């Protein structure tokens, strides 16, 4: 897939012409970095290259190119910075698009959100994310580039595991780890890449599957006793995790 010249390409080309003291390997470095970005559909980086260089390398183009492997093989550095600048609603949209894993409509996103938000606010958030190249917008649906989905999924897994260990639940209550109303192949992907990854991490950190079962059951009991009417996904998420490890639910 080919893309038209973007801010990063133009910026690097300009810097190549004006920085007389740059290494002779600059052209090959530029081409290698840009090839990587195109192959991995990292439009986020292409669109925000200039600001990224300014922020991470204080505008030092030579250092940026010398550290090119780190900057682009570990795209998380850039995504982390972009994500941390988002509003709470924008962050919610980012998580849900990663969970859904394929293009969804505004209506579908609105139904996912807990608590619900107005259509106007949701459209505003989507528009902002689109301008930042954090999401892809097609006809009437929204999704993310593969590299962004992977980053957001890893972030969700890490945070959910920590919340279950500490019993301080936020994301765990705000997002369905396994959605019921999706295509079978999407649900299977959610099961394999989200549920199973969470279980593996928690079993390793808690010491055993039985310890994990105890932890999940205690959280579920506390939820039923103290917050029986609280909206959210905690109950369903726990049931799905327990079912995945074939725990006794009676």
**What residue segments make up the domains of the chain, in order of their start?**
7-74, 86-144, 148-244
pTM across the whole model: 0.76
Q: What is the pLDDT of residue 2?
A: 34
- The answer to whether 219 touches 181, Cβ cutoff 8 Å, is no
Range 146-169 average pLDDT? 95
Residue 144 scores a pLDDT above 70: yes
Is residue 183 over pLDDT 70?
yes
For residue 47, the surrounding DSSP H or E stretch is helix 43-47
User: What are the distances in angstroms from CA 6 to CA 9, 12, 49, 74, 182?
Assistant: 5, 10, 9, 21, 35
CA distance 22 to 16: 8
Distance CA 223, CA 46 (A): 45
Distance of CA 69 to the CA centre of its chain: 21
- pLDDT score of 188 more than 90: yes
Average pLDDT estimate for 222-239 = 89
**Rounded Cα distance, 99 and 113, in Å:** 12
Asked if 244 contacts 238 with a C-beta cutoff of 8 angstroms, the reply is no
In three-state secondary structure terms, 114 is coil
- Measure the CA–CA gap between 17 and 229, rounded to whole angstroms: 64
Region 160-171: mean pLDDT is 97
Q: Is the pLDDT of residue 111 over 60?
A: yes
18's tokens: 């004006």
Mean pLDDT over 76-99 rounds to 92
Mean pLDDT over residues 45-61, rounded? 53
Whether 153 and 98 have beta carbons less than 8 Å apart is answered as yes
- Res 244 pLDDT > 70: yes
Strands (E), 66-192: 136-138, 141-143
- Tell me the average pLDDT across 45-70: 53
3-state secondary structure of 104: strand
Q: What are phi and psi of 227, to 5 degrees?
A: -135, 60
Mean pLDDT value of segment 138-144: 90
Confidence of residue 34 (pLDDT cuts 50, 70, 90): low
* Beta strands at 136-138 and 141-143: parallel, antiparallel or unpaired: antiparallel
Q: What is the pLDDT of residue 113?
A: 94
Identify the helix (H) or strand (E) that includes residue 228.
none
Task: Say yes or no: domain 86-144 is CATH 3.40.50.300.
Answer: no
- Say how many C-beta atoms besides its own lie within 10 A of residue 15's C-beta: 19
Nearest CA to 53 among 78, 21, 23?
A: 78
Residue 48: what pLDDT?
Answer: 55
Least confident of 52-61, 220-229, 238-247: 52-61
């Amino acid at each position: 897939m080919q893309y038209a010249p973007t801010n990063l390409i133009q910026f690097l080309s300009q810097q190549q012409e004006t920085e007389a003291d740059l290494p002779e390997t600059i052209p090959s470095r530029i081409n290698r970095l840009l090839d990587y970005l195109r192959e991995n559909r990292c439009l986020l980086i292409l669109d925000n290259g200039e600001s990224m260089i300014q922020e991470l390398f204080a505008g030092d183009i030579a250092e940026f190119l010398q550290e090119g492997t780190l900057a682009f093989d570990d795209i998380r550095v850039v995504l982390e910075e972009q994500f941390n600048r988002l509003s709470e609603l924008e962050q919610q949209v980012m998580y849900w698009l990663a969970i859904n894993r394929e293009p969804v409509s505004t209506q579908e996103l609105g139904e996912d959100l807990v608590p619900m938000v107005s259509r106007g606010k949701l459209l505003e958030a989507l528009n902002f994310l689109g301008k930042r190249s954090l999401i892809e917008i097609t006809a009437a649906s929204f999704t993310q580039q593969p590299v962004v989905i992977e980053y957001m999924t890893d972030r969700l897994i890490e945070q959910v595991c920590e919340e279950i260990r500490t019993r301080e639940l936020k994301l765990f209550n705000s997002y369905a780890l396994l959605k019921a109303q999706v295509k079978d192949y999407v649900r299977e992907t959610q099961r394999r890449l989200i549920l199973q990854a969470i279980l593996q991490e928690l079993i390793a950190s808690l010491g055993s599957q039985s310890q994990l079962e105890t932890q999940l059951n205690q959280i579920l009991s506390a939820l039923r006793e103290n917050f029986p009417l609280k909206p959210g996904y905690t109950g369903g998420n726990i049931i799905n995790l327990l079912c995945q490890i074939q725990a006794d639910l009676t």
